């Protein structure tokens, strides 16, 4: 029978009830206005009729796919932004408002990146537009709302004679000796976070949100159920990192926290959560006559990737560690420790300076301490209490 408007119990709102081509419906319109409710009824009946004839794949919008993706645990970062002053909604989902998935093309994605991030580098467009868009698309494809598709990402221009005057910190790898020197100039809490970044290759946002329940130290395995790409994956644990993770897991909850015991904000833009710690380390090193200005949270991921290549690790294994490979097999065995990946991560070098840091003796205790440097570079542990 066609859909009709009806009342339910003591509710003043109108409800839609009926059957469209075998699909029963009984839902609220969310309004008391008969005229508005009738418009919703007509729209709902038309949508269900079209779905029954053409299938949902032909009718679902990018906004609807985004909403489902976020409800399933995906990050809304860059997809939906709400201005606290005006309440205006922007972001990728707003840009594609009303657009059907079936109608979106590579040129639409490229145009969105140019419009939303007109002055951004290829790396920034890739991270802030292409990656979240593709995550939503992969979610839709897994629900059979869209076809599986290989989207092209932006690349750095080649063969240009333009001189790049400034490179943002974190876009290039560094050596582990240099990284150890930098981390040694940090207070324990951010130093522990940076250590994990350099020995897992995880994205900063993944590490900020990592919980004790995600880490199996005994099996040397981390499980990410909802990573940045919208796909679950497993991350091997380096032997060097095991004692730190063991102590933090025993504490429970979010693993990496500020010296005040608070979780870092779950965002990744520019590594702003530990920007003060990064600036502090640079200044302390500068006072000693050492200049290191190109290390930031994302440096760890780039360094892991590069070092694994240098160590002769097979590209497929490297991609699995970094979360680039997303075939059905890797997704199926997300929770199962994979020995080849564990062996590969353990090829990363560990400089003696990194092992000598005092906070290794009791990571949890030292994580609540700020380390200040006096006029003669004397390290003094200051309690947070």
Global pTM value:
0.58
* Percentage of the chain exceeding pLDDT 90: 43
To the nearest 10 degrees (0 to 180), the angle between helices 188-200 and 275-287 is: 100
Rounded CA separation 382/385 (Å)? 9
The DSSP result for 110-179, as a single string, is: HHHHHHHSTT--HHHHIIIIIHHHHHHHHHHHHTTSS----PPPP----S---------TTSS---HHHH
184-198 pLDDT, tens digit per residue, is 999 999 999 999 999
| Cβ neighbours, 10 Å, residue 351 | 16
Specify the pLDDT at position 356. 94
Q: What 3-state DSSP class applies to 228?
A: coil
DSSP code, position 257: B
325-349 pLDDT, tens digit per residue, is 555 555 556 777 789 999 999 999 9
23 forms beta bridges with 20
Is the CB of residue 256 less than 8 Å from the CB of residue 188? no
Q: Which residues contact 274 (CB under 8 A, 6 or more apart)?
A: 190, 193, 194, 264, 297
What is the average pLDDT across 281-300? 92
pLDDT band at 306 (very low <50, low <70, confident <90, very high): very high
Specify the pLDDT at position 349. 96
| Cβ neighbours, 10 Å, residue 373 | 15
Encode burial over 79-109: b for 16+ CB neighbours within 10 A, e otherwise.
Answer: bbeeeeeeeeeebbbbbbeeeebeebeeeeb
Specify the pLDDT at position 236. 96
- Residue 132: pLDDT above 70? yes
Encode burial over 12-49: b for 16+ CB neighbours within 10 A, e otherwise.
Answer: eebbbbbebeeeebeeebeeeeeeebeebbeebbeebe
Comparing C-alpha atoms, which of 41, 213, 212, 62 is closest to residue 137? 62
C-alpha distance from residue 317 to each of 173, 206, 241, 299, 321 (Å): 19, 20, 20, 20, 6
Is the CB of residue 18 less than 8 Å from the CB of residue 2? yes
What is the average pLDDT across 65-94? 84
- Residue 10: pLDDT above 50? yes
């Amino acid at each position: 029978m066609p859909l009709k408007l009806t009342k339910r119990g003591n509710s003043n709102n109108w409800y839609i009830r009926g059957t469209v081509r075998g699909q029963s419906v009984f839902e609220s319109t969310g309004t008391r206005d008969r005229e508005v409710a009738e418009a919703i009824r007509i729209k709902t009946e038309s949508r269900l009729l079209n779905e029954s004839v053409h299938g949902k794949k032909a009718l679902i919008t990018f906004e609807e796919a985004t909403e489902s993706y976020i409800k399933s645990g995906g990050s809304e970062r860059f997809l939906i932004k709400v201005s606290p002053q005006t309440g205006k909604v922007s972001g990728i989902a707003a840009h594609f408002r009303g657009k059907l998935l079936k109608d979106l093309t590579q040129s639409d994605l490229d145009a969105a990146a140019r419009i939303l991030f007109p002055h951004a580098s290829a790396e920034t467009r890739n991270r802030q537009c292409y990656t979240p868009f593709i995550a939503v698309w992969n979610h839709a494809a897994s629900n059979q709302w869209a076809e599986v598709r290989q989207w092209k990402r932006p690349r750095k221009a080649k063969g240009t004679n333009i001189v790049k005057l400034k490179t943002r910190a974190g876009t290039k790898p560094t050596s582990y000796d240099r990284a150890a020197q930098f981390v040694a100039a940090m207070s324990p809490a951010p130093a522990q976070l940076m250590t994990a970044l350099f020995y897992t290759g995880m994205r900063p946002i993944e590490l900020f949100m990592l919980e004790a329940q995600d880490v199996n130290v005994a099996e040397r395995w981390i499980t990410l159920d909802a990573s940045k790409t919208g796909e679950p994956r497993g991350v091997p644990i380096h032997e060097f990192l095991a004692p730190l993770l063991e102590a933090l897991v025993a504490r429970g909850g979010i693993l990496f926290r500020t010296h005040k015991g608070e979780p870092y904000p779950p965002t990744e833009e520019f590594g702003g959560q530990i920007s003060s710690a990064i600036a502090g380390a640079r200044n302390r090193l500068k006072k000693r006559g050492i200049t290191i200005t190109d290390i930031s949270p994302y440096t760890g991921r780039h360094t892991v990737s590069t070092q694994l290549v240098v160590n002769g690790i097979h590209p497929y294994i490297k991609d699995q560690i970094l979360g680039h490979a997303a075939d059905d097999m890797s997704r199926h065995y997300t929770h199962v420790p994979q020995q080849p990946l564990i062996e590969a991560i353990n090829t990363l070098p560990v400089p003696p300076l990194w092992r000598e840091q005092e906070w290794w003796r009791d990571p949890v205790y030292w994580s609540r301490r700020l380390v200040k440097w006096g006029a003669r570079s004397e390290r003094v542990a200051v309690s947070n209490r």
